[in-house]
């Protein structure tokens, strides 16, 4: 071979891009990516049911979308399962056109539609007026002004909530003879004493002395029902820890602005609340030993027994490894634990705390993960003994929606209760207090949401999956039996424009036993003969699980995939809504982020689909996801090659107290530094793009800048974009463009070619 020919071959090899990348990251790809949401929008019909109900539960009605910008109103007789148009749409359109102007039958703009129990008369708002319409005769009459838009739903249940407080909070005693108030301390503007006033005589007694110096009493006094005692909460304030941010480019002035926000961080002195018991007859405090509640994160749910013999409260210990219901004797102040929940790792107080006091039977409903799964228990409120476990099995209670004290039944949401289905799918169930009579109220293979009729006789169940558009069914609430199908979404028009559903995929995690669930997004012009880089959208926050489960016609990840990537999302170990052991992986170990499971999952998908290139894997994320995105390069740089980290909480000592102490515990230990991206910045390999908003008050922007400082000291190359005036995660269209360009350059290996 001639030297000139050899030189030509070498130059061609040097500058050529891989065959698989030549047709990716082009102007056409960018154009499709930008227009993908619009292309897929409005293509699903019959997908939404916003049910309205008659007062007697006999009928429901809703607006059904029938096409692009068209709809009809449908009525269902719940007793006969008859589904039909709510009225003759053409006839009503003609009547409205005659009265106020042009109306079209398949676009009737009716707000606050209400049908009489028999479905013979309709009331609604349109054209600024309220109307009555006799469906049989076609007589239309104006009956007043239009009403404000209603919520559109009539719900039953949901009144308990997590951590409900059932205390009486008032300063006047129940017998109306006494008033508790705060008296200012002379010469001390921040000092108050607690005082008691007898209303009949006007006599006042000061119960405390100069408490303003070390804290203060609150005015939310909780009286005993017999008015002989009351509890007042004393709060010692938290330390002052301001977060300072600088707005470099304010709109109203040339010079920058300084903004200051209160912002406690792990290890800071928090506000401490403690209960104080007072005896009315002696006008004196009854001392309560705080051995059982020495370091409260919070004290809540202060509640007197109906016989006034004691009060109880919920104690959440700082560090979140102890949760107690403590009972205090009204006469002696003696305290004892009724329920004593202790965890080796953490108690998820933000998601998995539920208490319900049953006054008539002296019982307490309690939520716990003590057997390894999140379940409900029934306690004897007098002895503190467990009467029985209510729910059990290798599945989790995802929330309690309603408690029926009389029927002694609980309506709750469950995950993983149906074998063979994705364990993150939510199903609705009912069970008796004694653990018998478990009824599955929802059936379809998907994740569910239900809407009850006013009297709870029926409900509409809507379920979907990523690959199944919404299906809505009318079911009986007593046994969950199907009455009729209400709606089934139609995706034919969506398929015609090239839509493809993300693929659900499961693979074994690090233990070789547990299934890890994720999804795969492919471009619309997918070609299995090409090689595609892989980009993971990561969020590993332990407060939840994050892989989408509901159907949607468009996900933002699809726009990135359209440029020539396979985009994935995965819920690894350490995230929520599975077993306690699955969740505990995150304990004092946020750097783990489930990477051992994520990497195995990606390798398993690539083994099944050889067009996925595991030599070119990137990741991106925001907030806790931003921490993990950079963590992928620092701790697993042999696998991940490029990352975009948006406003990451890179050092958990720098981030907000409540989120980080929940998972990393307290006091602050060496585990915080071990998980720090700042401490480990020297280990950076691969390509990195950092985003940060200068006015972020969710995650201290200094967290990102400290990473920058550490990377500079370690002589590492990286890119940084600071967004002036932006808050948490607010990168806008410019940031989205930079993210896409970054992966096109660093994983596709080509220069972005936007039109």
| 193 lies in the same domain as 222 | yes
Do 538 and 593 meet the contact criterion of CB atoms below 8 Å apart?
A: yes
The pLDDT of residue 160 is 45
Flag whether 248 is in a domain. Answer: no
Q: Which long-range contacts (CB under 8 A, 24 or more apart) does 37-41 make?
A: 37/554, 37/556, 37/559, 39/497, 39/498, 40/494, 40/497, 40/499, 40/553, 40/554, 41/553, 41/554
* Domain assignment present for 610: yes
pLDDT at 5 exceeding the cut of 90? no
**324: helix, strand or coil:** strand
**Tens-place pLDDT, residues 161-182:** 434 444 444 589 999 999 999 8
User: Is 458 buried (19+), middle (13-18) or exposed (0-12) by CB count in 10 A?
Assistant: buried
pTM, whole model, 2 decimals? 0.92
User: Across residues 345-367, what is the average pLDDT?
Assistant: 97
81 and 213 both lie in a single domain: no
Residue 663 pLDDT greater than 90, yes or no = yes
Note whether residue 305 is domain-resident.
Answer: yes
Residues 206 and 333 in one domain: yes
Contact 628, 621 (CB under 8 A): yes
The enclosing domain of 333 has a CATH number of: 2.140.10.30
**Residue 427 covered by a domain:** no
Say yes or no: 31 and 61 in one domain.
no
- Provide DSSP, 479-505: T--EEEEEEE-B-HHHHHTT--PPEEE
pLDDT value of residue 753: 86
Q: Does the pLDDT of residue 158 top 70, yes or no?
A: no
Which range marks the domain in which residue 546 is found? 17-40+494-748
User: Which DSSP category does 149 fall into?
Assistant: P
Looking at the fold, whether 108 and 220 belong to one and the same domain comes out as no
Position 735 pLDDT exceeds 60: yes
pLDDT of residue 597: 98
Residues 12-37 have a mean pLDDT of: 69
Pair of tokens at residue 80:
């006969």
Strand spans (E) along 263-342:
272-279, 284-286, 296-304, 310-317, 322-329, 335-342
Question: Residue 736 corresponds to which tokens in the numbers above?
Answer: 């989205």
- Provide the β-strand partners of residue 72: 64
* Cα–Cα–Cα angle for 600, 596, 515, rounded to 5 degrees: 60
Same domain, 25 and 78: no
**Is residue 559 predicted with pLDDT exceeding 60?**
yes
- Structural domain count of the chain: 3
The answer to the question of residue 412 being in a domain is no
Could you tell me the sign of the dihedral formed by the alpha carbons of 257, 261, 266, 269, in that order? positive
Determine contact, residues 311/304, Cβ cutoff 8 Å.
yes
Are 619 and 629 in contact by the 8 Å Cβ rule? The answer is: yes
Question: Kind of pairing, strands 640-646 and 687-693?
Answer: parallel
Let me know if residue 381 belongs to a domain.
Answer: no
pLDDT at 15 over 60: no
**What per-residue confidence (pLDDT) applies to 218?**
81
30-45: pLDDT as tens digits? 999 999 999 999 999 9
Angstrom distance (rounded) from CA 561 to CA 568 = 9
Q: Which residues contact 111 (CB under 8 A, 6 or more apart)?
A: 124, 125, 126, 146, 149
Kindly state whether residues 717 and 640 are assigned to the same domain. Answer: yes
Q: What angle do CA 165, 545, 156 make, to 5 degrees?
A: 45
Q: Which residues contact 64 (CB under 8 A, 6 or more apart)?
A: 46, 49, 71, 72, 73, 74, 487
Q: Which residues of 481-496 are buried (b: 16+ CB within 10 A; e: fewer)?
A: eebeebbebbbebbee
Domain boundary among 285, 316, 350: 350
Low-confidence winner among 202-206, 425-429, 611-615 (lowest mean pLDDT): 202-206
Residues 114 and 171 in one domain: no
2 falls in which pLDDT band (50, 70, 90)? very low
**Does residue 50 register a pLDDT over 70?**
yes
In a domain, 452, yes or no: no
Average the pLDDT over 469-486 and give the result. Answer: 97
Give residue 537's pLDDT band: very low, low, confident or very high (50, 70, 90). very high
- In the structure, what pLDDT confidence band is assigned to residue 548 with cuts at 50, 70 and 90? very high
Residues 58 and 31 in one domain: no
* Within a domain: 601: yes
Domain of residue 516, CATH code? 3.40.50.1820
Q: To the nearest whole number, what is the mean pLDDT of the chain?
A: 93
d(CA 214, CA 232): 16
pLDDT band at residue 708 under the 50/70/90 scheme: very high
**85 DSSP β-pair partners:** 74
Last residue of a domain, one of 317, 350, 383: 350
Residues 285 and 194 in one domain: yes
Which pLDDT score, from 0 to 100, does residue 118 have? 78
> How far lies 464's CA from each of 64, 155, 423, 552, 567, in Å?
17, 21, 14, 9, 22
Contacts of 264 (CB under 8 A, 6+ apart): 238, 239, 241, 270, 656, 657, 658
Instruction: Please check whether residues 533 and 564 belong to one and the same domain.
Output: yes
Confidence bin at 211 (pLDDT 50/70/90): low
Which of 350, 383, 400 is the C-terminal boundary of a domain? 350
1 has a pLDDT exceeding 50: no
Per-residue pLDDT of 269-291, as tens digits, reads: 999 999 999 999 999 999 999 99
Work out the pLDDT band at 217, boundaries 50, 70, 90. confident
Looking up tokens 């990716």 gives 24
Listed in sequence order, the residues at least 6 apart from 156 whose beta carbon sits closer than 8 Å to its beta carbon are 402, 452, 453, 454, 455, 456
Q: What pLDDT, on the 0 to 100 scale, is given for residue 210?
A: 61
Q: Based on the domain organization, do 181 and 224 belong to the same domain?
A: yes
Peptide bond into 667 cis (omega under 30): yes
């Amino acid at each position: 071979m001639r030297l000139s020919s050899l030189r030509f071959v070498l130059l061609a090899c040097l500058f050529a891009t891989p065959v698989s990348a030549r047709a990716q990251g082009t102007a056409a790809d960018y154009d499709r990516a930008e227009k993908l949401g619009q292309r897929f929008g409005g293509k699903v019909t019959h997908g939404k049911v916003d049910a309205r109900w008659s007062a007697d539960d006999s009928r429901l009605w809703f607006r059904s979308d029938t096409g692009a910008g068209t709809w009809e109103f449908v009525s269902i007789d719940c007793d006969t399962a008859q589904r039909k148009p709510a009225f003759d749409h053409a006839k009503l359109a003609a009547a409205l056109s005659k009265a106020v102007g042009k109306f079209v039958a398949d676009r009737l703009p009716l707000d606050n539609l209400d049908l009489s129990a028999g479905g013979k008369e309709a009331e609604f708002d349109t054209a600024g007026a309220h109307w009555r319409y006799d469906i049989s005769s076609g007589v239309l009459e104006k009956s007043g002004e239009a009403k404000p838009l209603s919520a559109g739903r009539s719900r039953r249940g949901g009144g308990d909530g997590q951590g409900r407080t059932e205390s009486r909070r008032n300063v006047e005693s129940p017998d109306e003879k006494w008033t508790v108030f705060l008296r200012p301390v002379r010469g001390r503007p921040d000092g108050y004493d607690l005082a008691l006033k007898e209303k009949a005589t006007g006599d006042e007694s000061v119960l405390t002395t100069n408490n303003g110096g070390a804290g203060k009493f609150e005015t939310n006094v909780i009286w005993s029902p017999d008015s002989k005692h009351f509890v007042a909460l004393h709060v010692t304030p938290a330390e002052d820890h301001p977060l300072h941010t600088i707005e470099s480019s304010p709109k109203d002035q040339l010079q920058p602005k300084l903004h200051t926000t209160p912002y406690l961080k792990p290890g800071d002195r928090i506000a401490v609340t403690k209960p104080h018991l007072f005896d009315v007859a002696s006008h004196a405090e009854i001392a309560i030993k705080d051995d059982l509640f020495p370091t409260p994160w919070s004290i809540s749910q202060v509640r007197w027994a109906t016989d006034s013999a004691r009060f109880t409260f919920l104690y959440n210990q700082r560090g979140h490894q102890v949760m107690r219901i403590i009972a205090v004797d009204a006469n002696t102040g003696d305290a004892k634990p009724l329920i004593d929940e202790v965890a080796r790792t953490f108690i998820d107080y933000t998601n998995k705390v539920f208490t319900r006091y049953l006054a008539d039977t002296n019982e307490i409903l309690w939520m716990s993960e003590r057997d390894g799964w999140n379940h409900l228990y029934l306690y004897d409120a007098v002895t503190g003994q467990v009467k029985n476990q209510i729910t059990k099995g290798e599945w989790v209670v995802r929330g309690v929606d309603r408690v029926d004290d009389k029927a002694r039944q609980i309506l709750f949401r469950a995950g993983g209760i149906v074998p063979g289905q994705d364990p993150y799918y939510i199903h609705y169930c009912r069970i008796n207090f004694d653990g018998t009579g478990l009824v599955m109220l929802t059936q379809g293979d998907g994740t569910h949401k239900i809407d009850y009729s006013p009297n709870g006789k029926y409900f509409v169940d809507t379920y979907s999956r990523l690959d199944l558009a919404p299906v809505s069914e009318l079911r009986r609430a007593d046994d969950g039996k199907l009455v009729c199908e209400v709606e089934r979404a139609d995706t034919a028009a969506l398929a015609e424009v090239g839509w493809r559903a993300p693929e659900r995929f499961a693979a074994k995690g690090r233990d070789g036993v547990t299934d890890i669930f994720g999804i795969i997004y492919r471009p619309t012009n997918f070609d299995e003969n090409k090689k595609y880089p892989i980009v993971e959208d990561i969020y590993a926050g332990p407060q939840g699980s994050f892989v989408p489960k509901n159907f949607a016609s468009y996900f933002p990840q699809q726009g990135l995939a359209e440029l020539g990537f396979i985009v994935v999302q995965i819920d690894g170990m350490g995230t929520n809504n599975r077993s306690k052991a699955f969740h505990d992986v995150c304990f004092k170990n946020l750097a783990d982020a489930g990477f051992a499971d994520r990497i195995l999952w990606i390798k398993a998908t690539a083994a099944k689909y050889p067009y996925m290139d595991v030599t070119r894997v990137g990741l991106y994320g925001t907030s806790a996801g931003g921490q993990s995105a950079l963590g992928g390069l620092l701790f697993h740089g042999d696998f991940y090659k490029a990352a975009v980290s948006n406003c990451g909480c890179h050092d958990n000592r720098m981030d907000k107290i409540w989120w980080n102490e929940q998972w990393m515990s307290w006091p602050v230990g060496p585990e915080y530094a071990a998980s720090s991206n700042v401490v480990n910045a020297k280990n950076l390999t691969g390509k990195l793009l950092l985003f940060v908003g200068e006015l972020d008050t969710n995650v201290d922007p200094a967290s990102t800048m400290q990473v920058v400082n550490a990377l500079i000291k370690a002589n590492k190359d990286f890119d940084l974009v600071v967004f002036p005036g932006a808050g948490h995660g607010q990168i806008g269209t410019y940031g989205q463009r930079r993210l896409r360009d970054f992966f096109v350059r660093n994983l596709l290996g080509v220069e972005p070619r936007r039109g």
